[in-house]
Amino acid sequence: MTNLLNDNTLDTFPKLLLKHASQRSNHDAIREKDLGIWQSWSWAEAAAEVRALACGLASLGLKRGDKLAIVGDNRPRLYWGMTAAQSLGAIPVPLYQDSVADEMAYVLDNADVKIALGEDQEQVDKVLEIKQRCPQIEHIIFDDIRGLRDYDQAFLHNYETLQQTGRDFDQQHPDFYQQEVDAGSGEDIAIMLYTSGTTGKPKGVVLTNDNCVITARNGIIREGLTADEEVLAYLPMAWVGDNLFSYAQSYVAGFCVSCPENGATVANDLREIGPSYYFAPPRIYENMLTQVMIRMEDAAAIKRRVFRFFMDHAAKVGVKILNGESVSLKDSLLYKLGNILVYGPLKDVLGLRRTKLAYTAGEAIGPEIFDFYRSLGINIKQLYGQTECMVFICVQPDGEVFADTVGTPAIDVEIDIDDNGEILYRSPGVFHSYYKNPESTASTKNEDGWVLTGDAGYFDEKNGHLKIIDRAKDVGKLNDGTMFAPKYIENKLKFFSFVKEAVLFGNERDYSTAFINIDLDAVGNWAERNNLAYSGYIDLAAQPEIYQLVKDCVDKVNADLAKDSRLGKSQIHRFLILHKELDADDGELTRTRKVRRKFVAERYETLVDALYSGIDECHVKTEVTFEDGRTGMLEADVKISNAECYPLESSTQEAAA
Amino acid sequence: MSERTFGDTILAVKNISLSFGVMKVLDNISFDIKQGEIRSIIGPNGAGKSSMLNVINGFYHPQEGSITFKGETRKRMAPHAAASHGIARTFQNIALFKGMSTLDNIMTGRNLKMKTNIFWQALHIGPARREELENREAAERIIDFLDIQAIRKKPVGKLPYGLQKRVELGRALAAEPELLLLDEPMAGMNSEEKEDMSRFIIDVNDEFGTTIALIEHDMGVVMDLSDRVVVLDYGKQLADGLPDEVRSNQAVIDAYLGVPHE
């Protein structure tokens, strides 16, 4: 194993595949659940599949530098499509399987795709529609023939038939495949991944073999991963994370990757596989926790009490035990008992019983969710990454896991923070370029190889970890010149279940203030339990008890901020609870439910002025759009409340400066 | 898509009349179904559609007429003969084993395919074991085909209605029928479920070459899916022909929309 990690001649994925096929031929390389059974392919079998497909692709005319689009769910055959293309020096371009034809057309056209490999009829139909507009697509290959029997176009090829053509080709040119693989090198382009493009058109991130292989290897070394890991490949193949965890790291470390039966069976397949190495965005961890809690509510009283008792105990000592800190013998024994009675079975249900390492990234994760999993003994850690460097920028080290940081730089990664607070990095993973987009490449990556992340952050003085606070363009300054990072504070507020949405103001102001949207379910439930009568959202939002409830949340955030030398000045001085829910129909949120801060500030100008004027009530009239498109007026008296502000704790900033 | 072509007549009913006491449910009905086609029987409520299906699979015995299935002419069909000769059906009101899983329900559809007796099956050794594995694989192919992997082990009674309908189709398919009778497979479904079910009906016909006789209320669905349509009203045969012909037939329009009484 270790000799594979040190072998610098294994600089491409096809070379790694052949190495595993010769050295560890009988070990499982990939698995797929089909007809209710986990079907496995060994490294030797996988290599034979890839070889046949590569030769088939060559016979269709796929050459060095050509692009092969791959679109579908996580399937062994599609992963083999990537390696087959790479064997020929061609470049795989995985696409999001749920994208509509128009979105797909842009990428297929922009990437100059020559051959498309689609999973099934759904994908083939989309590519066929696009092919009329993108004549450079010469061939389409499909894996699942269902529904495609009547398609008689000559440029459509069945995966299996193509492999057979490849085997014939291989017999006639027995040296061809090996020569093509040998011709590949680390500097060659390995893959193109399109960024989702929240701003403007998607950009094709061009990554070399070195980018992928070295970054994957560094990740493996840092976490001590082995060839015995179990991984479930369930996130979109077009996403850089899947390419790293389910493809690059599998090829480098030699562990087996399992593909779920289909999208609806992931939870069940997760349980059957029991991955030892797992990635999920915060949303999935949240959903799992919610499911558990709902099911526990329905459990028998005795079970609920046992569950509550041991979960409280886990909350007290679980994280300490995971971090290797010492706890009293009694606590340790009780935790072991809890492991038998509650934690073990619970982890088994979640499919995380064997998980040694679980990552999360992408957005902020609530501290209580984070602590829930950690207290069960699941080593869940945050990482910070980008497509532009094959994921890894920062990772939390074992035993130093905090809910609000993303850890220390990954191996070989250098990080710098510029004068505006924007994070820059340089690493072996730094991308080659954006495809056919030299302007964007130049504005993102400078001559020395430093990449601008677009994120603002800083290193925490206490532990040396990187803290991400906001998108750099959203970070402003208070009038006294201290940094104002609205999203960081909004996220802190939103971690409280009562707060659904928060909008912070403070850029070029003397102090910061906030609009709060209460969560009707959580607050309504609280009101019921506390015998508080209300008629509807507006009424509930204006109740003094609710103001007190929200004030407690704001005060806690302020107390937390007071400990933070950089953001301590941003403590929320005044807040109000909005009389209506922010709504995408009114243009206040984007369709992906992100607050459009500027729009909200303009729409509720009177309220913002009131927050900074010292009055304690303000009358507003708001136009609202109903679901059927009609509009109406909403009037309300909105109260404004002061929040508790705390003195800054001993500022370490001077010491650090 | 290429022009659809069909084989010989697989089933023909001739001059069928069926009465319950004085109630004449079917009156002199004749039509045929060709190998590989999707044949619909439509009509307003109480037209006799389900009765027609029950006559075909031998559940009802007509007083007059004959049924020719695969070249063999009978006065009446017996249900077990229908099943063993390759006719399978689904029901208007779902008739699944609610307490059993999706997989087990589909396995029951394989019953006629099993040759070993209950004794060997109980011991689960030798040929019985081999047979079980073969049939399990066949059932799994159907699960894959109908995209119901996620509910494989769930008790059917707990599933939403649309999925139960799909499981019922799966059980009928498990018998590998030559002629599949579907009694209102889309009743009570929302438009998305209807679309899915239509897709499955087309795929079954396409993939396995199964001949399908379909009873359906939703005219849009019928016209899109069917190769030929028979229209019944109060037990009488109003029309028989291509969807477009039937759609423009005045008698059919009157039966569906009513005629003014002046």
Q: A499 CA to chain B: closest CA distance, Å?
A: 34
Residue A389 within a domain: no
Does residue A264 sit in the same domain as residue A334?
no
Please name the residue of chain A whose CA is at the shortest distance from the CA of residue B199. A147
How many residue pairs from chains A and B have C-beta atoms closer than 8 A? 35
Question: Percent of chain A scored above 90 by pLDDT?
Answer: 68
Report CB contact under 8 Å: B144, A34.
yes
Of A344, A378, A412, the residue that ends a domain is A378
ipTM: 0.80
Question: Is it the case that residue A591 has pLDDT exceeding 70?
Answer: no
Residues A518 and A625 in one domain: yes
Looking at the fold, whether A149 and A254 belong to one and the same domain comes out as: yes
In B, which residues are within 8 Å of A37 by CB distance? 140
Cβ–Cβ gap B143/A268 under 8 Å: no
Choose among A146, A150, A265: nearest Cβ to B149: A265
Phi then psi dihedrals of residue A405, to 5 deg: -125, 165
Contact check, Cβ <8 Å, A146/B140: no
Closest CA to B182 of B31, B41, B14: B41
Chain A residues lying within 8 Å of B144, measured CB to CB: 34-35
* B181 and B258 part of one domain: yes
What gap in Å lies between CA A181 and CA A19, rounded to an integer? 12
Residues of chain A above pLDDT 70, percent: 97
Q: Which residue of A has its CA nearest to B136?
A: A35
pLDDT of residue A154: 93
Q: Domain tally for chain A?
A: 4
A527-583 pLDDT, tens per residue? 988 899 998 899 999 999 999 999 999 999 999 899 888 888 899 999 999 999 888
Residue B112 clears pLDDT 80, i.e. is over it: no
- Order of strands, sheet of A631-642, starting from the edge strand that comes earlier in the sequence: A499-505, A512-518, A572-577, A631-642, A617-625
Question: What kind and span of H or E run contains A456?
Answer: strand A451-459
φ, ψ for residue A548 (rounded to 5)?
Answer: -65, -40
**Do A93 and A119 form a contact (C-beta atoms < 8 A)?**
no
What pLDDT is recorded for position A147? 84
User: In the structure encoding, which two tokens stand for residue A499, read together?
Assistant: 């707060």
Question: Which of B146, B170, B194 finishes a domain?
Answer: B170
Residues A43 and A185 in one domain: yes
- Looking at the predicted structure, is the pLDDT value of residue A632 above 80? yes
- pLDDT at residue A442 tops 90: yes
First to last CA, chain B: 48
Is A96 inside any structural domain?
Answer: yes
pLDDT digits (tens, 9 = 90+) for A287-344: 888 888 888 878 899 999 999 999 999 999 999 999 888 999 999 999 999 999 999 9
Q: Would you tell me the crossing angle of helices A159-172 and A176-183 to the nearest 10 degrees?
A: 100
Residue A261 to chain B, least CA–CA distance (Å):
7
Q: Give the minimum alpha-carbon distance from B170 to chain A in angstroms, rounded to a whole number.
A: 14
Of the residues A279, A304, A327, which one is the last residue of a structural domain? A279
pLDDT at A652: 46
Q: Do B182 and B81 fall into the same domain?
A: yes
Domain of residue A559, residue span:
475-642
A149/B207 touch (CB, cutoff 8 Å), yes or no? yes
Which residue of chain B is at minimal alpha-carbon distance from A33? B149
Nearest CA in chain B to A268: B150
Chain A residues in contact with B103 (beta carbon < 8 A) = 36
Instruction: Provide the pLDDT confidence category of residue A189 given band limits of 50, 70 and 90.
Output: very high
User: If we measure between CA atoms, which residue out of B188, B201, B200, B180 comes closest to residue B162?
Assistant: B188
Task: Give the tokens for residue A294.
Answer: 């709902």
- Compute the distance between CA of residue A330 and CA of residue A322 in angstroms, rounded to an integer: 16
Choosing from B140, B170, B200, the residue where a domain stops is B170
CB distance B150–A268 less than 8 Å? yes
Q: What is the pLDDT of residue A219?
A: 96
CB within 8 Å: A146 and B203: yes
Same domain, residue pair B155 and B74: no
Examine the domain organization and report whether A150 and A95 are in the same domain: yes
**Which of these, A199, A16, A183, lies nearest to A592 by C-alpha position?**
A199
Contact B149 A149 (CB under 8 A): no
**Which positions ≥6 away from A619 have C-beta within 8 Å?**
A635, A636, A637, A638
Question: Does A516 map to a domain?
Answer: yes
Mean pLDDT in residue range A225-229: 95
Shared domain for B223 and B184, answered yes or no, is yes
Lowest mean pLDDT, pick from A144-148, A179-183, A260-264, B75-79: B75-79
Residues B166 and B186 in one domain: no
Full residue range of the structural domain in which residue B150 is found: 98-170
Distance from CA of A151 to the nearest CA of B (A): 7
Q: Spell out which residues of chain A touch residue B207, defining contact as CB-CB under 8 Å.
A: 146-147, 149
Does the beta-carbon distance from B147 to A35 stay under 8 Å? no
Q: What pLDDT digit, counting tens, does each position of B235-249 carry?
A: 899 999 999 898 888
Q: Does residue A512 carry a pLDDT above 50?
A: yes
Domain match, A406 and A555 both:
no
Chain B nearest C-alpha distance from A109 (Å): 27
Residues A115 and A66: beta-carbon distance below 8 Å:
yes
Distance CA(A247)–CA(A237), nearest Å, equals 9
Q: Which residues of A71-109 are buried (b: 16+ CB within 10 A; e: fewer)?
A: bbbbbbbbbbbbbbbbbbbbbbbbbbbebeeebbbbbbe
Domain assignment present for residue B93? The answer is: no
Reference A354, options A292, A271, A287, A293; nearest CA is A271
Decide if pLDDT at A217 tops 80: yes
Contact B1 A261 (CB under 8 A): no
Question: For the ranges A126-135, A272-281, B251-260, which has the lowest average pLDDT?
Answer: B251-260
Identify whether A422 is part of a domain. yes
Residue where the block lists tokens 């057979």: A164
Instruction: Give the minimum alpha-carbon distance from A9 to chain B in angstroms, rounded to a whole number.
Output: 43
The reply to whether residue B149 touches residue A34, judged by beta carbons under 8 angstroms, is no
**Residue of chain A whose alpha carbon sits nearest to that of B139:** A35
Least reliable range by pLDDT among A124-138, A187-201, B91-105, B210-224: A187-201
**Do A334 and A193 sit in the same domain of this protein?**
no
Here the CATH number for the domain that contains residue A460 is: 2.30.38.10
**Mutation to test the B interface, candidates A33, A35, A152, most B Cβ within 10 Å:** A35
Give per-residue pLDDT as tens, A81-96.
999 999 999 999 999 9
Q: What percent of chain B has pLDDT over 90?
A: 50
Q: What is the pLDDT of residue B188?
A: 84
- DSSP element (H, E) containing B135: helix B126-145
Question: What CATH number is associated with residue B201?
Answer: 3.40.50.300
Beta strand A277-279 pairing with A357-360: parallel
Mean pLDDT (chain A) is 91
Q: Is there a single domain that holds both residue A421 and residue A494?
A: no
Question: What is the rounded distance in angstroms from the CA atom of residue A554 to the CA atom of residue A499?
Answer: 10
One domain for residues A414 and A505: no
Q: Choose the closest CB to A262 out of B140, B141, B149.
A: B149
pLDDT at A503: 93
* Residue A335 Cα to chain centre, angstroms: 32
- The CA distance from A125 to the nearest CA of chain B, in Å, is 13
Instruction: For residue A654, tell me if it sits in a domain.
Output: no
Is the residue at B91 inside a domain?
no
Contact B206 A268 (CB under 8 A): no
Q: Does A384 reside within a domain? A: no
| pTM, full prediction | 0.85
Question: In this structure, is residue B236 part of a structural domain?
Answer: yes
| Count: domains in chain B | 2
Chain A residues with CB under 8 Å of a chain B CB are: 34-37, 146-147, 149-150, 152, 261-262, 264-265, 268
Is there a single domain that holds both residue A436 and residue A577? no
CB atoms within 10 A of CB A556: 15
d(CA B196, CA B115): 34
Q: Are B38 and B198 in contact (CB under 8 A)?
A: no
- Residue A149: list chain B partners with CB under 8 A: 206-207
Do B141 and B216 lie in one domain? The reply is no
Q: Which of B1, B141, B150 sits opposite A35 (nearest CB)?
A: B141
Chain B residue with CA closest to A263: the answer is B150
Closest CB to A147 among B137, B140, B203: B203
Identify whether residues A275 and A289 lie together within a single domain.
no
Q: For residue A79, is pLDDT > 80? A: yes
Beta-carbon separation of B147 and A262 below 8 A: yes
Q: Do B152 and A146 touch (CB under 8 A)?
A: no
Average pLDDT of the residues in B225-229: 93
- Are B76 and B194 within one domain? yes
Mean pLDDT score across all residues of chain B: 88
Q: Which of A57, A53, A76 has the alpha carbon at shortest distance from A67?
A: A57
Count of CA atoms in the C-beta half-sphere (13 A) of A114: 14
Q: Which residues pair with A381 in a beta bridge?
A: A359
Residues B109 and B79 in one domain: no
Do B140 and A35 make contact, defined as CB atoms within 8 angstroms?
yes
Residues B126 and B3 in one domain: no
- Residue in chain A closest to B203 (alpha carbons) equals A147
| Helices of type H across A7-75 | 13-23, 43-59
* Domain final position from A472, A501, A531: A472
List, in sequence order, every residue forming a beta bridge with A642; answer none if it has no partner. Answer: A574
Work out the average pLDDT over B214-222.
85
Q: Which of B149, B152, B159 to mutate to test the interface with A (most CBs of A within 10 A)?
A: B149
Q: Are residues B187 and B65 in the same domain?
A: yes
Is residue B233, in this structure, part of any structural domain at all? yes
Domain assignment of residue A372, yes or no: yes
Same domain, B64 and B110: no
What residues of chain A lie within 8 A of the CB of B145, using their CB? 146
pLDDT category at B6 given cuts 50, 70, 90 is: confident
Nearest chain A residue to B140 by CA distance is A35
Does A624 share its domain with A482? yes
Cα–Cα nearest to B197, from B219, B227, B167? B167
CB-nearest to A265 from B103, B150, B206 is B150
